[in-house]
Amino acid sequence: MLKPSFAYEIKDVTHNNGILPISLGIVKHEGSSRMNRGGRRWLILVAVGLFFLYVTYKLQYCSNSSGPGSVMLSKENFMVGKNNRIYHYDRLMPLIFIGGVPRSGTTLMRAMLDAHPEVRCGQETRVIPRILQMRTHWIKSKKETFRLEEAGVNNEVLDAAVAAFCLEVIARHGEPAERLCNKDPLTLKAADYLSLLFPNSKFIFMVRDGRATVHSIISRKVTITGFDLTDYRQCMTKWNDAIKVMYDKCLSVGKSRCMIVYYEQLVLHPSAWLRRILNFLDVEWDDAVLHHEDHINEPGGVLLSKVERSSDQVIKPVNIEALTKWVGHFPEDVVRDMATIAPMLSRLGYDPRANPPNYGQPDSIVLDNTRKVKENSKEWEQKAGELLMKGSSPENA
């Protein structure tokens, strides 16, 4: 009997006026039974999605009114935090989106920001990629688009409803905070669409050496639709395709709203890069971001998901253990053809012929952290094991 598992899904979609980002989603694989129940399940998902979008839209955007000439007004949204402080949220707030190919440092980045007292990212929501996927299916289908338009659900209404749904999930899946943040890695493929829904949002695009990313995906068995976890060459090709789309989307959004952060440089020089990142996000500096490991699972701190693959790693202080773990694991023919297989490596500044490459010299605090992690490896393994044991789940996310 096959054990169900969750996977990132990547599919091409189109918009009325051209190509939109590749859609995102998380699908549940259950062997051959999925094919038999796929159609019925999709109809249910569409129905549920439409219902939730409708309810969210009505609750957020429709005030009590009746009769000709009545005006639809947006209702005020807020949450109550500690000491009864009121936190307002709306589409114009400066949301933060963290994205990138899975296993590229998105969890570390959000953990660092979560350590800041004014920022709350939280765990991956999973439902935001799903609702974006549903929306792209509706837009892609001429038949479905016609039905929606006949019902008065045009693009403006649909976009408002999607934005309302995403905003409610981001705001309410954790504690209220001055700055709200979302980390669902593949949403960066929809950066241009999200930038329209949330005009004051900013994006952190996490980039990592594709060889390290692919080795991590394969060795940790991270299921991503389209990636063959038994084939390094195929996975490098898929990484190249995915990172190119994200890179192009980031460029289209513009440097003022999308910042590329190299995982290796963030790990080697956390203080300098975090200062640049917080400055880009218009967030004041706080030393807590340099010590995210001190705030794990604390109220208002870094709450970890027990089913995310990276949770057992970000409990440690920033260290360089993972930078070159990939070296020596790629087949010789893949190493030889790397520049051809993944041209985005060179475009992003990585040397496809270097094994290992020279990423740079780490700061003294990072060297000290790495030494302590190695000296207390058994203790860290025990902590990671306890975290995973508590989060053991049949979903195997």
What is the set of active-site residues? Answer: 124
Q: Tokens representing 9?
A: 């899904």
Beta strands, E only, the chain: 5-11, 14-15, 18-19, 23-29, 78-80, 86-88, 96-99, 119-120, 179-183, 202-207, 258-262
Cα–Cα dist 393/110, whole Å? 23
Cα–Cα dist 213/67, whole Å? 58
Strands 202-207 and 258-262: parallel
**Contact at 8 Å (CB) between 100 and 189?**
no
For the chain, helix, strand, coil in percent to 5 are 50, 15, 40
Cα–Cα dist 296/287, whole Å? 15
Q: What is the DSSP letter of 75?
A: P
Q: Which residues pair with 120 in a beta bridge?
A: 180
Phi, psi of 302 (to 5 degrees): -100, 95
Q: Any residues with CB less than 8 A from the CB of 383 and at least 6 apart, and which?
A: 315
DSSP assignment string, 344-392: HHHHTT--TT-SS----PPPHHHHHHHHHHHHTHHHHHHHHHHHHHHT-
Q: Tokens representing 167?
A: 């905003």
Q: Tokens representing 44?
A: 């249910």
Q: Which residues pair with 203 in a beta bridge?
A: 97, 258
Which residue type occupies 90? Answer: D
